[in-house]
Homo-oligomer: A and B are copies of this chain.
Amino acid sequence: MPSIRSQTYEERSVKHKNAAAKALLQTMARKSTNLCLSIDVTSKESLLRITDAVGPSICLLKTHIDIVEDFDQDLIERLQKLAQVHDFLIFEDRKFADIGNTVTHQYGSGPFKIASWAHITNAHVIPGPGIIAGLARVGVPLGRGLLLLAEMSGAGTLARGEYTQESLRMARTSRKSEAEKDFVVGFIAMGRIEEGGSQNQEDADEDFLILTPGVGLDVKGDALGQQYRTPDQVILESGCDVIIVGRGIYASNDVAEMQRQAERYKAAGWNAYLERIGRKT
């Protein structure tokens, strides 16, 4: 079996059993994009305006729904409509981080009802495997996918080394659980954390999506410790699957400029991918 790095998104979509992961890989192949827009704005109008502008360039929209001042159900419905029109999936970057019983409520209930509209969400492994069990109760029946935070992009993060390996072990254990099977679809990480180390025979056909934040073409960092790498470093060198880009795309308020930046990141990410799979023209 060729390594994940040399397989196409399309080939991988055929094998993935999780509905959200399969749809994401299909979308990436269909639209020729591995770009995820990270949208951190606090007004509904701004969120919808940027999403509508950039939607054609992305495979995935990453939201922080809890920072939107005028959140309401109408926002969700319009986001879902934009996702259909522009053909992308939605990833709520909730970073669940509580015990199982609590995250069950946080994922399925409350004003946001994240599980009802977000194809993908993510969780820290710090509380232990109960967090996956708690989220799986809600997400599995809906065909949702979960990413574990194995690494982070901020300065001084503790998500490294043994912690990262522990998140990998937790993902593999979850894959073997009947109730959680296929729910963990990958990681937030800076590289292919599953490569090397002790891979069992039964893990040989595993396929984890690696989504990577902290991607920028023009800047190196911000005042609160965020650090940036280029799409080439992330997709080609580190073998990740999706680049997550935020302020680099919508820093300007001008729609044409946003679209230009989105297309620039889309092209950079896709060219790095083509080179990785040996199809660079």
Contacts and interface: CB of A to CB of B under 8 A. Distances in A.
Interface of A: 40, 42, 64, 66-69, 71, 93, 95, 97-102, 104-106, 109-112, 124-131, 133-134, 149, 152-159, 163, 166, 222, 224-226
A106 B225 contact: no
A105 B125 CA distance: 23
A109 B71 CA distance: 11
Given A95-B97, A100-B154, A163-B163, A224 B130 contact: yes
A106 B67 contact: yes
A69 B225 contact: no
A128 B157 CA distance: 4
9 contacts: A66-B106, A67-B110, A68-B111, A124-B124, A126-B149, A128-B158, A128-B225, A130-B156, A130-B225
B158 A110 contact: no
Contact of A111 (B71, B100, B104, B128): B71
Contacts of A42: 105, 109-110
A105 B226 contact: no
A68 B111 CA distance: 7
A101 B67 contact: no
> In terms of DSSP, what is the predominant structure of the interface of chain A?
loop
One complex includes copies of this chain to the number of: 2
Contacts of A154: 99-100, 127-128, 130-131
Contacts of A125: 158
A183 B112 CA distance: 29
A128 B100 contact: no
Given A125-B158, A128-B158, A130-B224, 18 more contacts: A40-B102, A42-B105, A64-B105, A64-B106, A66-B66, A66-B106, A67-B102, A67-B110, A71-B110, A71-B111, A97-B126, A99-B225, A111-B111, A126-B149, A128-B155, A128-B156, A131-B154, A133-B224
A125 B224 CA distance: 14
B97 A124 contact: yes
Contact of A153 (B99, B124, B133, B158): B99
A225 B129 contact: yes
Contacts of A66: 66, 106, 110-112
A101 B226 contact: yes
Given A66-B110, A109-B69, A111-B71, A100 B130 contact: no
A64 B134 CA distance: 16
